[in-house]
Amino acid sequence: MAFACTDPPPSKYPGQEEVHIEDSTLGPGDVFEVRVYRQDKLSGTYSVSAQGAISFPLIGTVAVAGKTPIEVEEEIRRQLADGFLVRPQVSILVKEYRSRSISVFGQVQKPGTLALQHRMTIVEAISQAGGFSAMARKNGVTVTRTEGAHKRNFTVPVESIADGRAPNFVLRPGDIVFVPERLF
């Protein structure tokens, strides 16, 4: 009697279009650039402190943790307009979300914890982990996601995603990616 080795069926999982707003909020350790139009001395790169704030010229401490980059832009703009500049134009570019991470382990070349980039996909995460090992079960990858007090597991067909036969899987902070060993 011969046994066939088949991949588990993929889960129904959220697509790339379902990015939640909290996925782009800032946290301790995140690095972003602030540009104030025609104000080079106010423009610069900032790292969010452990207390969730930055120290900004002229206005002092600005709480940024838990806010989106657009909310931080608006806050800095509002405070600069309050007696410092006339109609300031402020823009923010997030350089690195250090406060967010994911874990990738199992049959990958370099298992470990990775900094989660905005809208990072499972294919990108496995690539950053050095790619699959020779023994990886590429269409049987499991993502464990904590949502409130509940854990959800998704079976993700990464090889099918890479081949364009399945939609990509967008990772969220705290996701755990496990690449199992193939059975043969």
Amino acid at 114: L
Do 90 and 106 share a domain, yes or no? no
Which of residues 65, 96, 127 is at a domain's end? 96
User: DSSP labels for 129-153?
Assistant: TT-B-TTB-TT-EEEEEEETTEEEE
Q: Is residue 11 part of a domain?
A: no
Q: How many domains does the chain have?
A: 2
Which of residues 67, 96, 125 is at a domain's end? 96
Global pTM reads: 0.64
Which domain covers residue 45, as residue numbers? 25-96
Cα 176 from Cα 144, distance rounded (Å): 5
Q: Is residue 107 part of a domain?
A: yes
Q: Residue for token digits 């900094």?
A: 115
- Is residue 10 within 8 A of residue 160, CB to CB? The reply is yes
Q: Is residue 69 part of a domain?
A: yes
Q: Is residue 6 part of a domain?
A: no
Q: Residue for token digits 């401490």?
A: 61
Do 79 and 128 share a domain, yes or no? no
Do 64 and 86 share a domain, yes or no? yes
- Is residue 70 within 8 A of residue 25, CB to CB? The reply is no
How many degrees, rounded to 5, is the angle at CA 92 between CA 36 and CA 89?
35
Residues 6+ apart with CB under 8 A from 75: 62, 64, 67
Q: Is residue 132 part of a domain?
A: yes
Do 105 and 172 share a domain, yes or no? yes
Q: Is residue 17 part of a domain?
A: no
> Which pLDDT does position 10 carry in this prediction?
62
Q: Is residue 9 part of a domain?
A: no
Q: Is residue 104 part of a domain?
A: yes
Do 139 and 158 share a domain, yes or no? yes
Do 64 and 111 share a domain, yes or no? no
Q: Specify the CATH number for the domain of residue 74.
A: 3.30.1950.10
Q: What is the pLDDT of residues 88-136, one digit of tens each?
A: 999 999 988 888 889 999 999 999 999 887 788 999 999 999 999 999 9
Q: Specify the CATH number for the domain of residue 124.
A: 3.10.560.10
3-state helix, strand, coil in the chain (%, to 5): 15, 30, 50
Residue 32 β-bridge partners: 46, 94
> Which pLDDT does position 146 carry in this prediction?
86
**Each residue's pLDDT expressed in tens, for the chain with a length of 184 residues:** 444 456 666 666 665 445 454 567 898 889 999 999 999 999 999 999 999 999 999 999 999 998 999 999 999 999 999 989 999 999 999 988 888 889 999 999 999 999 887 788 999 999 999 999 999 999 999 999 987 788 999 999 999 998 989 888 999 888 999 999 988 7
> Which pLDDT does position 16 carry in this prediction?
47
Cα 169 from Cα 155, distance rounded (Å): 10
Cα 80 from Cα 177, distance rounded (Å): 43
Q: Residue for token digits 């067909």?
A: 157
